[in-house]
């Protein structure tokens, strides 16, 4: 019988421009997490490569079938007999690239795939400009991964700003939601923790989100602060901005408790949006 408790871990990275170095760093930290008792491990967005130069990204990118980082991480899950969520890797997909997350089972099989739906096209006040849609193709389907403990909802980074995605996953049965990320330092300092806590509270679900942290070889600076939040919004574990591992116990009873105390999932109602205009007094016809 599967336990209703398990240890989840987030691997925080500072991915470089060298995919194989990143693979080896991820495998090493996965091992560290397992040595501390983790049965479920998650890596961050762009585990395989942080590269802002589109040409170099395209030259480095591989298809799923030939992907050396994906293969190495699948082997790591198989060797350690754990559930491994790969936060995302860049995968060649036609003319563009998919920012794709994977759930890997303890036999090294791909249990679920998810392509990032919401693409980060923004101009930040500090002058940073991001146009993910120039390079990446957006996904069109949410994804739930079936694990021994229940369904895990998958998402990536910028998705965390779109609460309807997580509500749909929770309503479909997810007990744990995830948003592995490579948040910018500026937006992370302002919004990262509050968004993670909000998604957990709104849905009475655990939120587990591994992150990239620090200044990368390609010049970007990511916020870090990998985080695990319980269904009542309490932060169980949070990293700084250096690479490393955080862990927390996931107790499925806490999901039932939170949803019983605040049963908002059962109170969801459909509604229409109507625009009202101020009523104007009728003028006398003689006027």
- Which residues are known catalytic residues? 45, 116, 157
Rounded CA separation 36/50 (Å): 28
Coil, strand or helix: which one is 165?
helix
Six-digit token string for 232: 């009542």
Four-residue CA torsion sign, 149, 155, 156, 157: negative
Six-digit token string for 149: 């403990």
Our measurement of the distance from residue 89's CA atom to the centroid of its chain's CA atoms, rounded to an integer in Å, reads 12
Beta strand segments in the chain, E: 5-12, 40-42, 83-93, 96-104, 110-115, 121-123, 129-131, 136-137, 143-147, 150-154, 174-178, 206-209, 213-215, 221-223, 227-229, 235-238, 244-251
CA distances from 193 to 148, 155, 214 (A): 28, 16, 17
Strand partners, 177: 153, 207
Rounded CA separation 47/181 (Å): 10
């Amino acid at each position: 019988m599967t336990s209703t408790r398990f240890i989840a871990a987030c691997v925080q990275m500072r991915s470089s421009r060298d995919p194989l170095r990143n693979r080896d760093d991820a495998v090493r930290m996965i091992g560290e997490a397992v040595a501390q008792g983790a049965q479920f491990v998650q890596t961050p967005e762009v585990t395989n490569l942080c590269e802002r130069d589109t040409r170099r990204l395209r030259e480095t990118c591989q298809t799923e079938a030939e992907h050396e980082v994906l293969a190495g991480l699948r082997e790591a899950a198989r060797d350690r007999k754990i559930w491994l969520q790969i936060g995302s890797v860049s995968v060649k997909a036609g003319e563009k690239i998919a920012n794709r997350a994977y759930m890997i089972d303890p036999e090294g099989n791909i249990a679920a795939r998810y392509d990032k739906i919401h693409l980060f096209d923004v101009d930040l006040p500090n002058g940073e400009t991001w146009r993910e849609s120039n390079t990446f193709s957006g996904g069109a389907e949410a994804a739930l991964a079936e694990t021994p403990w229940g369904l895990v909802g998958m998402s990536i980074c910028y998705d965390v700003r779109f609460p309807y995605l997580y509500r749909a996953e929770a309503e479909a049965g997810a007990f744990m939601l995830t948003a592995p990320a490579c948040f910018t330092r500026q937006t992370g300092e302002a919004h990262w923790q509050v968004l993670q806590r909000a998604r957990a509270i709104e849905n009475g679900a655990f939120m587990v989100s591994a992150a990239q942290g620090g200044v990368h070889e390609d010049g970007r600076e990511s916020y870090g602060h990998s985080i695990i939040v319980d269904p009542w919004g309490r932060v169980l574990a949070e990293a700084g901005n250096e690479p490393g591992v955080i862990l927390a116990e996931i107790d499925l009873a806490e999901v039932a408790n939170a949803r019983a105390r605040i049963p908002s999932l059962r109170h969801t109602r459909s509604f229409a949006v109507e625009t009202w205009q101020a009523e104007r007094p009728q003028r006398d016809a003689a006027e």
